Amino acid sequence: TANEDRRADEAAGDELTRLAERHLVQPWPVSGSIGAEARGRIEAGEGIYVTDAAGRRLIDGPAGMWCVNAGHRNRQLADVMAAQAMELSYNSPWYTTNAPSAVLSARLAEHAPDGIDHVFYTTGGSSAVETALRFMQFANNVKGRPEKKLIVSRQGGYHGSTYLSASLNGRPRDHDWMDSAADLVVKLSCPDPFRRPEGMSVEAFCDFLVEEFRAVIEERGAEHIGAFIAEPVMASGGVIVPPAGYLKRMHALCRANDILFIADEVVTAFGRLGHVFASQDVFGIDPDMITFAKGVTSGYFPLGGVMIAGRLFEELRRSNHSEAMFAHGLTYSSHPVGCAVALKNLDILEDGLLDHARAITDHFQASLKALEDLPLVGEVRGLGLMACVECVADRVSKNPLTLDLEVGKRIDRHCQELGLLVRPLINMCVMSPPLTITSAQIDDMAAILRKGIELTMDDLAREGLW
């Protein structure tokens, strides 16, 4: 009977929870529950929705981790994976190549800024960032300037979880208990206009940020700085859209000082900001390298990569060290299945999804911006199909709510009851839904988020916390 089926399902679900608790180490765990943690299980996905273990259908507000751009359960993506696996599931990139990676590279080069015409494929974003940095180190060794290797990143940034990429991260929690290659990195201020110094205009704040970089270059010497890395819009740091002109001016400083500009587009590429790459099409800059991952396969396959300007190779070919090997490669570099999925995903983007994402952006941003009338909300900001609702204890002081209140988690819990998955980030809720979201679905999402914030305000007031 139906009841028996349901009981069997529940028992199977409990068993899965038990297995995960006993044997699965979750990412980003805390010591108190490491290796013994039960997390909510997602069982299925379709379009912008996922279904959890309790059978609730939820809007996938963060599109997984900013990655399910073409939406869940896309038949074309699933079919192409199966077909490629049957044709050629793997080849060694050590001495062979394959068709999907060749075609994909040419297609990506068409979308990248002029001159950025090569790709090195990795398994995700961290390995893409790691590759870009190791390439900078290698190139400077070959060019006879091994001292030019410092990497400049920013407070608030996130670039990955391998040793070197994680060393660039600028969120306090990333370093509290972790070692890093701190001596290789210099961190600049976070370009967050909402938290600029009091009394300073946004324009003056932008001047301050650029001057800060200039001062670092002067102090450390351009001959010691190899690269500047930046997310065009900081994602995990809370969707920080920098002041107008900031990226162009930072880019100009890099060019003037022979510092490589690495745009970390792991989140901002593949339609999130309405274009395949945002660097040139949105911000008017042409970086020397662009790292990407996530949306390149809409999360259907773990793939990432670095777009590299061809002129960087010409310099190496002209050097005296033609035997110097860039001793860096991954078993899954140029994976044929990953590249085949990425090609189909690119077709989907070109055949209307980019247009749709651009068309829906204003409605998306306006619907969320309207939440600024809620007293708990300090600011709603965003660009393209990424936005952040930042809650504050007090709108005048902009004091963030303390971590203990876990206000994002509270909002998330209420929203999940109402049909929306939020990605809580301390006091912030980040929204970056699948690009397939419709106008009506945006209205649903914003209405649920409003209700979730209202219920959280009630709770905090009742508990005397706010």
Tokens found for residue 148: 């030019």
Does 130 participate in binding ligand PMP (rule CB under 6 A)?
no
Quick one: which of 98, 126, 153, 280 contacts ligand PMP (CB under 6 A)?
A: 126
- For ligand PMP, the closer of residues 274 and 452 by Cβ is 274
Beta-bridge partner residues of 153: 187
Alpha carbon distance 357, 362 (integer Å): 10
**403 contact partners, CB below 8 Å, separation of at least 6:** 426
Alpha carbon distance 270, 68 (integer Å): 10
Q: Which residue has its beta carbon closest to ligand PMP? A: 125
The runs of H, that is alpha helices, within 300-379 are: 310-317, 336-348, 354-369
Burial class (CB in 10 A: 0-12, 13-18, 19+), 409: middle
CB of 263 to ligand PMP, least distance (A): 10
Helices and strands (H, E) in the chain, number of each type: 14, 15
Q: Which of 316, 167, 304, 154 is nearest to 228 (CA)?
A: 154
What is the three-class DSSP state of 118? Answer: strand
Q: Which stretch binds ligand PMP (CB under 6 A): 28-36, 154-162, 174-182, 308-316?
A: 154-162
- For ligand PMP, the closer of residues 387 and 401 by Cβ is 387
Does 236 participate in binding ligand PMP (rule CB under 6 A)?
yes
Tell which positions 342-401 bind ligand PMP, by CB under 6 A: none
Alpha carbon distance 416, 59 (integer Å): 9
**Long-range pairs for 102-107: beta carbons < 8 A, 24 or more residues apart:** 103/339, 103/343, 104/339, 104/342, 104/343, 104/346, 107/343, 107/346
- For ligand PMP, the closer of residues 236 and 361 by Cβ is 236
- For ligand PMP, the closer of residues 45 and 124 by Cβ is 124
Cα torsion angle, 286, 288, 294, 298, sign: positive
- For ligand PMP, the closer of residues 154 and 159 by Cβ is 159
Alpha carbon distance 302, 293 (integer Å): 8
Alpha carbon distance 363, 367 (integer Å): 6
- For ligand PMP, the closer of residues 239 and 442 by Cβ is 239
Alpha carbon distance 245, 251 (integer Å): 10
CB of 193 to ligand PMP, least distance (A): 19
Quick one: which of 235, 306, 309, 428 contacts ligand PMP (CB under 6 A)?
A: 235
Does 277 participate in binding ligand PMP (rule CB under 6 A)?
no
Q: Which stretch binds ligand PMP (CB under 6 A): 260-268, 316-324, 331-339, 455-463?
A: 260-268
Quick one: which of 117, 231, 288, 390 contacts ligand PMP (CB under 6 A)?
A: 231
Quick one: which of 111, 148, 159, 414 contacts ligand PMP (CB under 6 A)?
A: 159
Tell which positions 190-209 bind ligand PMP, by CB under 6 A: none
Cα torsion angle, 163, 169, 173, 177, sign: positive
- Tokens 């044997």 — which residue? 23
Quick one: which of 63, 80, 129, 240 contacts ligand PMP (CB under 6 A)?
A: 129
Does 264 participate in binding ligand PMP (rule CB under 6 A)?
yes
CB of 151 to ligand PMP, least distance (A): 14
Does 414 participate in binding ligand PMP (rule CB under 6 A)?
no
Q: Which stretch binds ligand PMP (CB under 6 A): 11-19, 121-129, 187-195, 374-382?
A: 121-129
CB of 127 to ligand PMP, least distance (A): 6
Does 69 participate in binding ligand PMP (rule CB under 6 A)?
no
Quick one: which of 185, 217, 267, 276 contacts ligand PMP (CB under 6 A)?
A: 267
- Tokens 């003056």 — which residue? 204
Does 124 participate in binding ligand PMP (rule CB under 6 A)?
yes
Q: Which stretch binds ligand PMP (CB under 6 A): 69-77, 88-96, 100-108, 263-271?
A: 263-271
- For ligand PMP, the closer of residues 47 and 62 by Cβ is 62
Does 293 participate in binding ligand PMP (rule CB under 6 A)?
yes
H or E element at residue 305:
strand 304-309
DSSP 213-271: HHHHHHHH-GGGEEEEEE-SSBSTTT-BPPPTTHHHHHHHHHHHTT-EEEEE-TTTTTT
β-pairing, 116-122 with 304-309? antiparallel
Quick one: which of 112, 266, 296, 435 contacts ligand PMP (CB under 6 A)?
A: 266
Does 160 participate in binding ligand PMP (rule CB under 6 A)?
yes
**Site for ligand PMP, rule CB under 6 A:** 65, 124-126, 129, 158-160, 231, 235-236, 264, 266-267, 293, 304
